[in-house]
């Protein structure tokens, strides 16, 4: 049999998280997981979702269980426009398309914009799923420095300059409480980055899955970059973190010409999303309990973040540092240079029963070995304390 695989399939790689999950499953229920960046099921509005599900399934004798529009449920699309306006993003329905989570948005955008060899500029470290989509499309990924205030504009400028104009395609960033670092981009930098889009004739994906999950009103994130250069920015949102992942619904807000192409790409990719899921989301998000729900989320994750930050302060050796996010799910840990977080991963999971994701997984250039990502979203504060103790023990003798 000849080799049937396409060039694209030869670029695909199993993710580090996937390899780790096998170890984690073997470790059993005593494992404390700081690995998966998943929302806590305790935050899911179970009773309301059950109520809306039943009424939407029964509505019009099941007519809502049919195929739907590729763009998404009309009511939800309209709701997304109104919700965006609260963040000073101007959007009408032709600016919006619903996707199967933000991951599909990244994949469809890659398919309509990236030819092999095109350059994508992204924070280092960056989101694993974005790296996978860009890699599969054959993009040349160019890492841009990130400090405690987010992507460094001067470094971005230098890297854009060093790239031939016709190869400059996309910048990718997570503006708020980044995955994996927890870092947000400072307001002045947002403006500086927006200016470069026109100057260097390049588009930007602003991915914002965590923006609602700020821990304090005083730490509310600055307005999205989208507002500064609406025609050049594809803004991505998702219900996965603020309602529940199972509804597999995210959205893109972009210039109508881009949205039309995304719609064509989605039509060939899966025809449409689930109208039932989208109508359940619409009912919940447009109900009076949604703003209260968001408030609860913020204090829920704040408590988990505090448990982790306090435990790290108490338990970690002095040689180890970490980020201090003001929202989101993640803390990024820096080990002394020369250490490799992969070298003791198996010991951590199998012997100490605590898991994390290795830093290298978030790197598009095989760097970040002396880092690891801790997610504080999934475990109870008591287990977070115990998990950090276990991890500190592993770190001390490695």
Q: Which of residues 137-156 bind its own copies (CB under 8 A)?
A: 137
How far apart, in Å, do the first and last CA atoms of the chain sit? Answer: 47
Asked whether the beta carbons of 357 and 20 are under 8 A apart, the reply is yes
For residues 338 and 157, give the distance between their C-alpha atoms in angstroms, rounded to a whole number.
Answer: 29
Instruction: Name which position in 26, 90, 271, 351 contacts its own copies (CB under 8 A).
Output: 271
Q: How many residues bind its own copies (CB under 8 A)?
A: 80
Instruction: Name which position in 267, 292, 346, 365 contacts its own copies (CB under 8 A).
Output: 267
Output phi, psi for 279, to 5 deg: -75, -35
Residues 247-266 that bind its own copies (CB under 8 A): 247-248, 261, 264-265
CB nearer to its own copies: give 79 or 127.
127
Q: Confirm or reject binding of residue 38 to its own copies (CB under 8 A).
A: yes
Q: Confirm or reject binding of residue 28 to its own copies (CB under 8 A).
A: no
CB nearer to its own copies: give 181 or 274.
274
Q: Confirm or reject binding of residue 273 to its own copies (CB under 8 A).
A: yes
CB of 22 to its own copies, least distance (A): 12
Q: Confirm or reject binding of residue 8 to its own copies (CB under 8 A).
A: yes
Q: Confirm or reject binding of residue 199 to its own copies (CB under 8 A).
A: no
Pairing of strands 146-147, 140-144: unpaired
For residues 96 and 263, give the distance between their C-alpha atoms in angstroms, rounded to a whole number.
Answer: 10
* Tokens at 260, concatenated: 């039309």
Which residues are CB-contacts of 63 (< 8 A; sequence separation ≥ 6)?
none
Which range binds its own copies by CB under 8 A, 34-42, 204-212, 322-330, 355-363? 34-42
Phi-psi region of 71 (alpha: psi -120 to 50; beta: other; left: phi over 0): alpha
CB nearer to its own copies: give 64 or 153.
64
Residues 43-102 that bind its own copies (CB under 8 A): 44, 46-47, 49-50, 53-54, 57-58, 60-68, 99-101
Residues 281-340 that bind its own copies (CB under 8 A): none
User: Would you say the C-alpha torsion 184, 187, 188, 190 has a positive or negative sign?
Assistant: positive
Tell me the per-residue interface mask from 95 to 124 with its own copies, x by CB under 8 A, - otherwise: ----xxx-xx--x---xxxxx--x------
Which residues are CB-contacts of 159 (< 8 A; sequence separation ≥ 6)?
121, 142, 144
């Amino acid at each position: 049999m000849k080799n049937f695989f396409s060039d694209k399939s030869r670029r695909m790689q199993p993710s580090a998280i996937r390899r780790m999950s096998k170890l984690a499953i073997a470790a059993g229920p005593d494992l404390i997981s700081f690995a998966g960046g998943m929302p806590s099921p305790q935050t899911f509005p179970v009773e309301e979702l059950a109520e809306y599900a039943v009424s939407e399934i029964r509505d019009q004798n099941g007519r809502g269980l049919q195929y739907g529009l590729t763009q998404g449920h009309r009511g939800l699309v309209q709701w997304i426009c109104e919700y965006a306006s609260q963040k000073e993003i101007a959007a009408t329905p032709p600016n919006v398309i619903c996707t199967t989570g933000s991951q599909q948005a990244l994949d469809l955008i890659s398919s309509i914009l990236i030819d092999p060899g095109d350059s994508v500029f992204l924070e280092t470290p960056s989101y694993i799923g974005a790296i996978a989509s860009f890699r599969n499309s054959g993009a040349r990924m160019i890492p841009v420095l990130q400090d405690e205030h987010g992507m460094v504009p001067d470094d971005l400028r230098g890297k854009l300059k060093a790239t031939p104009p016709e190869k400059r395609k996309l910048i990718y960033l997570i503006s708020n409480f980044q995955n994996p670092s927890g870092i947000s981009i400072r307001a002045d930098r947002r403006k500086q980055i927006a200016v470069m889009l026109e100057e260097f004739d390049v588009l930007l994906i602003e991915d914002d899955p965590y923006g609602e999950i700020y821990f304090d009103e005083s730490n509310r994130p600055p307005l999205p970059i989208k507002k500064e250069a609406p025609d050049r920015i594809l803004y991505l949102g998702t219900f996965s973190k603020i309602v529940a992942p199972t509804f597999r619904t995210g959205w893109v807000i972009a210039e109508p010409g881009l949205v039309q192409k995304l719609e064509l790409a989605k039509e060939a990719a899966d025809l449409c999303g689930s109208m039932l899921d989208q109508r359940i989301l619409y009912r919940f998000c447009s109900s009076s309990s949604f703003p209260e729900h968001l408030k609860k989320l913020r204090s829920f994750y704040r408590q988990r973040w505090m448990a982790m930050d306090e435990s790290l302060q108490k338990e970690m050796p002095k040689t180890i540092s970490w980020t201090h996010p003001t929202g989101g799910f993640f803390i990024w840990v820096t080990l002394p240079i020369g250490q490799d977080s992969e070298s003791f991963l198996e010991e951590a999971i199998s012997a100490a029963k605590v898991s994390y994701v290795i830093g290298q997984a978030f790197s598009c250039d095989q760097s970040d070995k002396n880092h690891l990502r801790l997610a504080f979203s999934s475990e109870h504060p008591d287990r977070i304390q115990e998990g950090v103790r276990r991890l500190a023990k592993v770190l001390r003798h490695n």
